[in-house]
Amino acid sequence: MGKKILLSGVKPTGRVHIGNYFGAMKQFVDFQDDYESRIMIADYHALTTVQDASVLKQDILDLVASYLAIGLDPNRVIIFQQSAVAEHLELAWIFNCLTTMPYLARAHAYKDALAKNKEVNVGVFTYPLLMAADILIYDPDVVPVGQDQKQHVEIARDVAEKFNRLFGEAFKLPEPFIPEDVKTVTGLDGQKMSKSYGNTIPLFANEKDLKRLVMTIVTDSKGETEPKNPEECHVFALHKLFSQVDLPELKRRYVEGKIGYRESKEILAHNMNQYLKPMREKYESLLSRPEEIKTVLAAGSERAQVIARAKLERVRELVGVKL
């Protein structure tokens, strides 16, 4: 039996942060030997919010460099650009025609945008259907994502079921993969780490910026000798990701009132830097070779297109537009 298939992606909307890494991207690397993986640069999704060509171009290159720097191997994994595979859009149109407005109006991302009085473009509204197409066109078994994307994978499953029922079996129903301990990585203010909240720690921040950002993590006002509950501390939440070896000792010092927040943050900044430095160096070196990045992306996109084209042929036949 062949390997199971994995599909996921990230939007090129600014520098990736440690929430993206632990919530999703690290799983791409951990699973690259066990699954046949297809990892996307979701640039048409980014277009719902980015309206500056030079920014988007650079963000696309940065994201490919990020994928390579964290250890994705383009010989084992298809790294591709969503916009280079136009079949996604064609399939998304077919899904538009299967889905009702009230159903899509229940999507969290759309409701959040409305609640914040943002001007909601049609792309934001139909985003889940383009994402359903991104996923379903590659027949994945598993889609590793953070908790905030769980609903989108569920929408993809609903759409797949509806299509299969109406037109005949075409799509596999994918499962989201969301590890419990990293389903929502918190940011500097204790909310979900998110570019739109301005509370992120960029994955490739330099040592000085890492330290500066870590020192701004919000804590309560307990003094150095007061006992503290590590489970309520946003600094400790990040120690769980970066300070594995020191964790029992840190926990003991928190509970016994033997560590202040300043020292805890200093230890965290040090451990983060140790952890991230090798990836950061690789990232910086890759960014100085944009042609190499473009070559990787073009080769991956070509491979993705072959798969997507075959799937769409079958779909066109099933819906009745292929004569």
| Residues of the shown chain interacting with ligand AMP in the complex, contacts defined by CB under 6 A | 10-11, 19-20, 23-24, 145-146, 148-149, 182, 184-185, 192-194
Min dist. Cβ of residue 190 to ligand AMP (A): 11
CA distance 226 to 246: 20
CB of 28 vs ligand AMP, minimal distance in Å: 10
Helix %, strand %, coil % of the chain (to 5): 60, 10, 35
Nearer to ligand AMP, 194 or 206 (CB): 194
Task: Give me the least distance between CB of 27 and ligand AMP, in Å please.
Answer: 9
Helices (H), 25-82: 26-30, 43-46, 53-69
Instruction: Indicate the residue among 146 and 202 with the shorter CB distance to ligand AMP.
Output: 146
Residue nearest to ligand AMP (CB): 23
- In the bound state with ligand AMP, the residue whose beta carbon lies nearer, of 58 and 184, is 184
Q: If 0-12 CB within 10 Å is exposed, 13-18 middle and 19+ buried, where does residue 248 land? A: exposed
- What DSSP letter does each residue of 250-293 carry, written as one string? HHHHHHTT---HHHHHHHHHHHHHHHHHHHHHHHHHHHT-HHHH
Q: How far apart are CA 15 and CA 147, in angstroms?
A: 20
Nearest to 21 by CA among 283, 256, 306: 283
Nearer to ligand AMP, 40 or 170 (CB): 40
Output the CA–CA distances (angstroms, integers) from residue 192 to 36, 171, 210, 274, in the order listed: 30, 32, 18, 24
We find the least distance from the C-beta atom of residue 154 to ligand AMP, in angstroms, to be 13
Closer residue to ligand AMP (CB): 7 or 145: 145
**DSSP at 243:** -
C-alpha count within 13 angstroms, C-beta hemisphere, residue 298: 6
Of 64 and 259, which CB lies nearer to ligand AMP in the complex structure? Answer: 64
